[in-house]
Structure formats: C-alpha cells, structure tokens
Amino acid sequence: MAGYERKNSERYLPDQGREACGLFGVMNTSGKRFPGNVAISAIKNIKVRGNGLGGGFAVYGIYPDYKDYYALHIMFENKRREVKTVVERYLTENFNVAYDEQIPTNPQVSLFHPPLVWRYFVTPEKKGDEKDFSDDEFVVDKVMHINTSIDDAYVFSSGKNMGVFKGVGFPDEIADYFLLDKLYEGYIWTVHSRFPTNTPGWWGGAHPFSILDWTVVHNGEISSYGTNRRFLEMYGYYCTLYTDTEVMAYAVDFLMRRQGLPIEVVSKIFAPPMWDTIDQMREKEKRLNTTLRMVYGPLLLNGPFTVIVARHNEMFGITDRIRLRPITAGAKDDMVYLSSEEAAIRSVAPDLDFAWTPHGGNPVVVRMNSTDHLLSMDNSI
Amino acid sequence: MAGLALKVGLRDMFLEGSRHVSELGGYATVSGSEAWVDALNLKHKELNDLLREVVSQGARDITVKNVFGQRYIGTRLNGIFGCKVNLSIFGTAGNDLGAFLNGQKLTIYGNAQDGVGNTMNEGEIIVHGKAGDVAAMSMRGGKIFIRNNVGYRTAIHMKEYNDKIPVLVIGGTAQDFFGEYMAGGIVILLGLGLAEGKNHNANYVGTGMHGGVIFVRGNIEKSQLGKDVGIYATDDRDMEIVRQYSGEFAQRFGLDTEEILQGQFRKILPLSKRPYGSIYAY
C-alpha cells in the first residue's frame, strides 16, 4: 500500500471482514509427505464458497534441504525492485542468507496484478542485546519491521521447512500459478478460498495468514478484531494486512509459543463456554474457565468463525462457541481431514473410516503419531 | 490497488465454466418414466439443469449417483411440469437440499449438509444419514425424515398456517439451538442412538420459540432448555400424533414403531406466543 493510503487507513478501511469462505486441511499423522492434488481437488469441490478474490495454501515439510533455515516468503507489491533492494539490505544486516530465489511461477497462468514473490532461507545474525532473545522472537521482530516499516513489502510466511503461497484468484489457479502440484510435497496442506465482503481482495489479504510456522485459514468475521489487535500490539504484534484473520495468527503464536499453552486450553480462550455453562461446572473446571476469561478476556474471539490452524506436527480446527460457521472432520487410516463441507472431504476420500461434526468451540486436534482428533467425536454428530 | 482488484477480479463462482444442458447428454440416461444421472464433476447449475431436462423428457423416477455436495437439488423441479418427481440421491447432498421444495420426494442415501428443506412448502425429504446445520429452516409444509443426527439450529423459524403444518422427525440427537425461534409445526426427536442414561446433545433448546411443538424421546435436562420454553408430559392426543409420524419414520427406515413408542416422550412448548412483545412493542 502506498504511504498516503496508510495515513488514511483508519478512516477508510473497516476493521473487520465479513466472509463466507471455503476451508480445507489435511494432515498425514505418520508424517508422510504427499503432493498437492488432494488439497487442490478438495477446494475445487467447494469453489462456490469463494469468489476468486483470494486463494492460498500452507504446506509443511516442503524444504527438507533447508529445514534448519527460516524460509521467508516475501511479496513485493507492484513488483518494485527498489523495495526488494531495501528489504535485502535489511535482511543481510540481520540474517545470514544461505540461499534466495524467486518463487517459481507458471507464466501461462494469468492472474490479476501479481506481485514479485521471493524466498530467502536465513539464520539469525543477532547483535548485542539481541542475543538475549530466542531465534523465534528475533524473527518475529524482524518480520514485524518489514511489514510495518517497508512500503510494499510483506512477509507471507517465516517458518522453517514450510511455506505459504497465496494471491488473488481461485485457489486452484493459485496452485497452478505457483506450480504447487508439481514442485512440492508436504505432510500438512491447508487451503483457503476467499469471499471477501468488506475488506479488500488483494494479494496480502489472501489466507493463510502466518507468523513463524503458524498458519491460519479462516471463514467468518472476527468482530472483536479491535480489542484483539490492541491487546496483541502490547506484545509487539502489528496488524498490517487489512483483514481480521491476521489477529488469529498472532494470537496463536502469543498463546501457544510464547505462553506455552496447549490448544485444549487456547480453545477455551478463543471460544469460551457461556457463563451459565461455567456456572454448572465442577469447582476445578469452573476455576480454570473463570481464570481464563479473566486473564485472556481480550483474546476472546467474538462473532462467527471457523478456523484451521497449523504448525509443524499439529493441525487443529475450531468454530466459534455457537457454531455460526460449519466444520466437518474425516479420518481414513493416518489421513485426517478438516473442511467447511463434508462433500469436499468425500470427494478426495470416499471411503472414510469416520466423518463427524464436533460441538461448537470444541477443537479437532490432529497431532503427529496420535489419534487425539478422535476425542472431538464426543458430543459430535 | 485493492479497489481495482475488487472491480476487475470479481468472478462468478457459480456460473463460470458451467456447460449448457445440451452438452450434458452423456451424464444422463432416460428410459420411459425412469432416468439415471451421474453427477460426478457436474456443477450445481449443470446438475439442476439436467434434472429439469430429464423431467421434461418424461422421467418421474430419477436416480442420481456420485453426488458430492451439489447444492439446491430438487429446488428447480417445482411447479413447471405440474408433476410429482421421485429423486433417489446417492452420495453427499450439498447445501440447501430441496430448498423451496413444492411436492417432490427426495431420498438421500448418504449424509446431507446444511439447510435441508430450507423454506420447503410441500413434499418429502428422507435422509438415510445425518444432516448438518439449520435443517428444516423456515420450513412451512411437507415432511422431513432424518435417520441419524442433526446439527445446530434445526427447525429454526419453522412455521405453520391453517392446514399447512410441517413435520420433521429425527432418529438421533441434535446439537444446540434446536427449535430456535420456532413459530409452528411438529418436530419429533427420537434419540434412538443415545446411550443409556445419556442426555440429548442439544443446549439452548427452543430459544425464542413461540409456536409449534417439539416431542422428545430420551432424556433432556431442564438446564438444556432455552428460557422461552417449558417441558411437559404428553397426553393421548399428543401420542396419536407421535404414533402417526414415528410410524411413518419407522416405515421409511425399516424400524419397529412399537419399539420406538416404548420410550418415554415429553413435549416442549413455548411459554408465550410473543416472547419479545414487551421488548419491541410500543
């Protein structure tokens, strides 16, 4: 975004997005990597949930040769080479850049106004006081600097051995554009088909949103965005991508990486039980839920939502507590699927062992070498 | 830049790439009053166009296989041919199955997604599986039978008028906001799969309900009910209704009516016909 737009952003850009998007996620719980055709076919099945104004993928396990390096996917809007020079100067000041290249794209796919997208494999070069910070903390700080202080440069993803590919178009077109089914194999694929309704459909606003190896795809509207954003800013997370989902990526990084909480607890922060339900709980449970609402109240996510969040070795899906957006889970052997619609799962895995829809606010947690996801079948339909 | 994307990038996700019905002949076979349709890879509009086409060729019993989430199945068969059509659907029926249905009969051998029978007026939908959220939303006539469970907000704002009384029978249990804002009609929740001593799943049952009746077989606690409803014992007249529709349910799924009727039924009724009258009336 140009500088003059940023000055006016609070006035012109609504602080929330109403969306009716399509979500799909698939994970192999044995860690076996597989190509993109599963995720691509599934999201094509629910094409009508998006309107071609945003599609994107997060893939885990794609850079085994550089698995110890942070893989920075950086978008340069308007293909501005001079911005790339500024970013690269900043990167070499702060990182050891082992390798970098333009992310390969298919010239035969014509998308609307594509930016230049480059990837850098880096390790932190910490100086002075910075040595007190963990590598992850250092990377978050530098990503925030690029996003907030360098015009027209945005970091799409910054995790190790994973990456986000996204843009304006239907998700299968984005997959074709970045040659996802030809070049990459991963053990988790999440994908999003966007239907933006009151924030712009632009390349940076496509899902997944990501920080470090966290990625979030989201259907719905986080009407608590303002409160969530203010809270996260106190911890050094700055929202620059003009859409509500961004807070969710920073919130999971804050709660799960920094604060070390498991998703089973985090889900009670995002989608807490109603007070009258808490009143009926046993004493210990009541104390936990009351404490969480007191301490982490500003991270309660209000409004209708379904999200699929992933990081290495873990993927989870959760809806708001009164399930105003749909989710269905499916499992077949060591493949576990999450989707907005059961049909999308059936279209790529017709012989499921299980298909179920959990209770609102109850997460489906898919973990490596575990069957934890089946726990969410309790009270499901 | 963003504004430009909205203007230039907007696409039609429903119609883009959909073929004219004259190109879809290979997907259907018609023989007298019967027809077979293979829905694999057909878009929503293509499938619904094709169903109209085979009906216009005289088909009245139509079997559709390989359904993977196509929406609005049955909706566009309304009225125009002045005939009743039987659709047998194999696969996973998409959202708004039988929306605005007006006399057709749909049988789904598989699960259905969200919005089954949305604003349906007449006819019958039989689901040999589960249904997603908002089943029977705003339904105003006809019958829906669902073998297994249903999701959130089932029968939301179902309504009745004189002799138009919609009926919904569910074999399993339901999730939250069951019967939300219900204004009329008959809903029967059988709880056939419930484990001994286990309550129904639903909380906030009948929130905002102001008409109609919900019959429940299987245990449900008072704390699971919304503020606007009460739960009562059934009388003989109630049990006549329950017997009739449980019988129709059992017949469709090959179950034993008497076995179903051995369970204890109770009824949920609204406490007021105008629960919000004192809030919004001036």
**Tens digit of pLDDT for each residue in A210-251?**
999 999 999 988 899 999 999 999 999 988 887 888 899 899
- Which residue is closest to B45 within chain A, CA to CA? A48
pLDDT, tens digit, for every residue of A55-93?
999 999 999 999 999 999 999 998 888 999 999 999 999
Q: What is the mean pLDDT of residues A125-135?
A: 94
Helix (H) or strand (E) holding B188: strand B183-189
Q: Determine which of B92, B109, B170, B222 to mutate to test the interface with A (most A C-beta atoms within 10 Å).
A: B92
Chain-chain contact of A52 with B44 (C-beta, under 8 angstroms): no
Q: How many CB atoms lie within 10 A of CB A82?
A: 9
Q: Which residue bears the tokens 């440069």? A: A153
Q: Which residue bears the tokens 């007006």? A: B102
Q: Is the pTM here over 0.90, yes or no?
A: yes
Residue A163, pLDDT > 50, answer yes
Residue B7, pLDDT > 50, answer no
pLDDT of residue B281: 58
End-to-end CA distance of chain A: 45
Chain-chain contact of A323 with B176 (C-beta, under 8 angstroms): yes
Chain-chain contact of B9 with A347 (C-beta, under 8 angstroms): no
Q: What value does the mean pLDDT of chain B take?
A: 93
Distance CA B184, CA B139 (A): 9
Q: Which of A53, A16, A17, A48 is nearest to A203 (CA)?
A: A53
State the complex-level ipTM: 0.92
Q: What is the mean pLDDT of residues A329-355?
A: 96
Residue B41, pLDDT > 50, answer yes
Q: Does A113 touch chain B (CB under 8 A)?
A: yes
Distance CA B190, CA B265 (A): 9
Chain-chain contact of A343 with B69 (C-beta, under 8 angstroms): yes
Whether B160 and B166 have beta carbons less than 8 Å apart is answered as yes
